[in-house]
Structures are given as C-alpha cells and as structure tokens.
Structure 1
Amino acid sequence: MIVVDGTVDRKRLGLLVPSSNTIMEQDLQRGLSEIASVHSARMYLVEATENGESAMLDEYLDRAVEDLTSLKPEVVVFGCTSAGALRGPAYDRQLCERIQAQTGATTISTIESASNALAESGHERVAVLTPYVDELNVKVRASIEAAGVDVVEIEGLGISDNFGLAEPTPSEIANRAVALIRRSNPSMLFVSCTNFRSLEAADRIELMTGVPVMTSNRAVIRAVEKRPGRPGHVRSVQARPIGSVSTASM
C-alpha cells in the first residue's frame, strides 16, 4: 500500500481463478482490502478432476492471462491449489514465470504459497483436509512433501464438481477438521482449496483444538502482503502456450 497526499494507492491484483469458483474472490477482497483491489479472469472448469484441470491449464489459461494483462496488474495470483500441484512443483514454478513474463507482474502460486507457509511454520506433523477426490489429494500431498513437510494424513471429501466444492458450510468443515486432528494428532492443519469455505472455519478449528490452521486463501493473502508488485517487468516472447510448459526437466 502506498500513501500519497493522504490517499491510499492500492495494488492492482489480478486473480486467475477457475470459472466455477465462488469463494476465493470474496476471501481475498476481505483479507486484502487495505492493500489491493482484486480483479479476476476466469479459466473454464466444471470438474475438479485431473482431466478437468488439465483441460483448464491447456485450453483456457492462455485466454484468461491475456485478458488479465489488459488491466496492467501489479501482482497476479494463480488461484487453484490442486491445478498448481497437478504436474509438480517444477511445472508450477515455470507456469508462474511464464505468467509473470506475459503480465509484467509478480506472480504468486497458491500451492507454493501454502507449501512455503507450512515449511516456514516449523511444525513437523501436518494433517491436510481437502474437498477433493483422491486423484487430486495425491498431487497436493506430493507438492507439500516436496517442500520438506511431513504429511501425517490427508483426507478428502470426494467432491468432483468444482462448483460443489463451495457447498460444505464452515461448521461442516470445522467438524471434519476436528475429527481429523483428533485422529492424526498433527501439530498443524492445512485445509486445501481456494473454493472451500475453510478460511471462515479456521478460527473455530483453532479454538476447538489448539492446533494452528493454514488454508489456501490465507496462505495467498500472506504471500501478497509480503511481496510488492513489480510494474514494468519486461515481457518475454512466449514460445508456446502458457499452460503447455515443458516437463522435460521435471
């Protein structure tokens, strides 16, 4: 946030979000209201499955990035935890580098923000709650563990309809989280998914269990707070579509 002549100049935050996500924009608007304005471009996604998210990356991401570039954002967030984990941390980093090159803005990955927050917390035993199907849980777990975090247990609700990820209430999420914590005895809980009402449930879970909680959207908010935008970043030539990052080095 920059203050000039007593007025607040907020960063323009560009959010790349799945088309059926109804939660992330609300969470970021509330959490970042003092330092950033949130502007979204949507990537078509109906099914929260490996095939559905692959299509989002390969067929719909490029247009969303092009649209977002037109508003000259100072920070960009890739707002899908499981899609960031889908092809591994190296792919996710390259993806964000390419988005940053095209938009000229600091680009933040949701899965990387969450993994870093967990690793930096110093907690050695982390349990993970998600709304996902198992094939996505495997990818999320692998990305978190690649950051050196010990995942003692991961539990998914088995929801494959991306719009439906937002349907469990904060109370329902808290109840599932408390049961998971009592069963696995972690030192920290991560609740994954930007389209899950976990940020609304986080304080309740912490009060009920005494275990600190990180969520996807909380991790992004903290990452945005830490990183200034970089307007004017030189744009590089895109040799191939953004979603089709080479996996040769992964």
Structure 2
Amino acid sequence: MERDLRSSLADVADLYSARMHLVETTADAEAAMLDTYLPQAIEDIASLRPTVTIFGCTSAGALRGPNYERELCVRIADCTRSRAISTIKSVSAAIRRTGRHRVAVLTPYVDELNAKIRNSLSSDGLEILDIEGFGIADCFRLAEPTPREIADRALKLVERARPEVLFLSCTNFRALEAADEIESVAGIPVVTSNGAVASTVREALREAQ
C-alpha cells in the first residue's frame, strides 16, 4: 500500500505508516489484529498529527460489518484528530462513481475473507456477481501474484461473470499495476483498493484546505 500511495499522492501529501502485526490472512488473525495491535498503531499515528488517517486493510474493514467499520473510523478520527478513511468504504464510493452496480471481485484471499468482502459490498447496495480469490493465507505472500498473473486471472473472471465493473481487492495486492491493462482489454472500469483510497485522500485534502 505504501508504495502505491506514495506514487499516487506524491504531488499532494507526505505518507507515514504504522504497521499492524499480521502474519496470517485469516478471519481469526485479522480479529486479533483489530483487538490487539490496532490500538497501538492508532496512538503511534496520532503522534504525527496527521491531516488524514487511513485504515489500510480492505478485508479487516469488512470483517465485522458496516457498523463496526463506522465506529472504527470514529475512533480513529477522535484519537488522531484527523479525517479517518476506510478502505472498504472508499472502494464502495469508487464503484458507485462509475454509475454501475454489477460487480465481479478478484482478491488474493481465502474464501472466508472473500465472504466478508461480498457481504460488505452487498450491504452498500452493490450486486456481487462473482468473487474469486488466489487462496493465499500468508500476509507477506499476498503481494506475490504478479501484475501479469492478476490480469490473466481477472480477464478470465470478467469473461465468465460479465460484470459492469471489476474490483481488485487488497492493499497488499499488486492490483494497481494491472488495472490499466485489464480496463483496456475488458472495456469496463477497474477499481482497486489503493486507487480508491488515493482518490478519497485527494478529496479529503481538498476539503481540508
């Protein structure tokens, strides 16, 4: 995520990060991350006095449903005294901006996290036609699929599901590098976690001026 955002936002913002401990990308491990490691990360980021604070995990934002995610953003905003941005909400907003609602989703995740992503997007009124994952449960390895592998798998998913828009989920996925090719070949909008967050950050910074 840091690399994509530094590249996308270099003209408007400096980027600092506080990492939350996560070894396995499973529902249980993400729950432990939220309960055990997130509070310290929020305090660490607050010491920077940021203008905008991003909760930069798509699947953990979807893990406990929209009410928890909203409460989490309030908590982050209160502690950091900044605008708090949720990745999963940024994604929903980016999809809605396309004017389309029939969505296919490609992720690096295991099925239990794919189900959380489906539920979260569906709760925002989007129709999830299909969701497919690489089945990776090791957090470090989420970044292993190459842009070529992501594009090839995504184009097969689009051919099968016939969506109006494609979402490539995960802030640790090299999705942004594959998005342009997929859009060009498939002829539909492609939304990525990091691209959606970058758009929300730009909007937040304009409002803060």
The bucket for the TM-score relative to the shorter chain is over 0.9
Tell me if structure 1 keeps the 8 A contact 2:91–2:192: yes
Q: Distance in 2 between matches of 1:229 and 1:41?
A: 24
Residue segments in structure 2 that go unaligned for 5+ positions in a row: none
Q: Counterparts of 1:51 and 1:71 in 2: how far apart (Å)? A: 30
**Aligned partners of 2:143 and 2:174 also within 8 Å:** yes
Runs of 4+ in structure 1 deviating by more than 4 angstroms, as ranges, are none
Q: What SS does the aligned partner of 2:181 have?
A: helix
**Counterpart AA for 2:76:** I
Greater strand content: 1
Aligned residue number for residue 13 of structure 1 = none
Provide the C-alpha distance between the structure 2 equivalents of 1:139 and 1:161, rounded to a whole number of angstroms: 18
Report matched runs for 1:88-99 at 5 Å.
Answer: 88-99=65-76
Secondary structure of 2:205's counterpart equals coil
Deviations 1:49-75 (A, max 9, x none): 001100000000011111111111110
Quote the residue 1:65 is aligned against: 42
1:84 to 2:61 alignment: yes
Per-residue deviation, residues 31-62 of structure 1 (Å, max 9, x unmatched): 00011100000100000000110000000001
CA apart distance, 1:124: 2.7
1:229: Cα distance to partner? 7.9
- Deviation digits for residues 129-182 of structure 1 (CA, Å, limit 9, x no counterpart): 000000000000111011111111000110000100000000000000000000
Q: 1:117 aligns with which of 79, 94, 101?
A: 94
Give, in whole Å, the separation in 2 of the partners of 1:230 and 1:47.
37
Q: Does 1:200 align with 2:177?
A: yes
Measured in 2, the distance between the counterparts of 1:209 and 1:229 equals 32
Match of 1:54 among 22, 31, 53: 31
Aligned to 1:225: 202
Deviation at residue 230 of structure 1 after TM alignment: 8.4
Provide Cα deviations, 1:9-43, integer angstroms capped at 9, x if missing partner: xxxxxxxxxxxxxxx00000000001110000010
Tell me the number of residue pairs that the alignment of Structure 1 and Structure 2 aligns. 208
Check conservation: 1:79, 1:109, Cα contact below 8 A.
yes
- Name the counterpart of 1:45: 22
Is 1:163 the counterpart of 2:122? The answer is: no
The answer on 1:142 being equivalent to 2:126 is no
Structure 2: distance between partners of 1:230 and 1:117: 18
Q: Is the 8 A contact 1:130 1:155 kept in 2?
A: yes
Higher Cα Rg: structure 1 or 2? 1
- Residues 59-96 of structure 1, C-alpha deviation per residue, up to 9 Å, x if partnerless? 00011111111111110000000000000011001001
Aligned-residue CA RMSD (Å): 1.2
The TM-score with structure 2 as length reference comes to 0.97
Percent identical pairs in the alignment equals 56
CA contact (8 A) 2:111 2:135 kept: yes
Deviation at 1:209, TM superposition (A): 1.1
More moved, 119-128 vs 131-140:
119-128
- Name 1:74's counterpart in structure 2: 51
Counterpart code for 2:144: E
Aligned to 2:192: 215
List alignment gaps of at least 5 residues for structure 1. 1-23, 232-250
Inter-partner Cα distance in structure 1 for 2:31 and 2:167: 24
Take 2:97 and 2:26, find their aligned partners in 1: how far apart are those partners? 29
1:35 maps to which residue?
12
User: Aligned to 2:151, which of 151, 174, 180?
Assistant: 174
Q: 1:229 to 1:108 in 2, by over 3 A?
A: farther
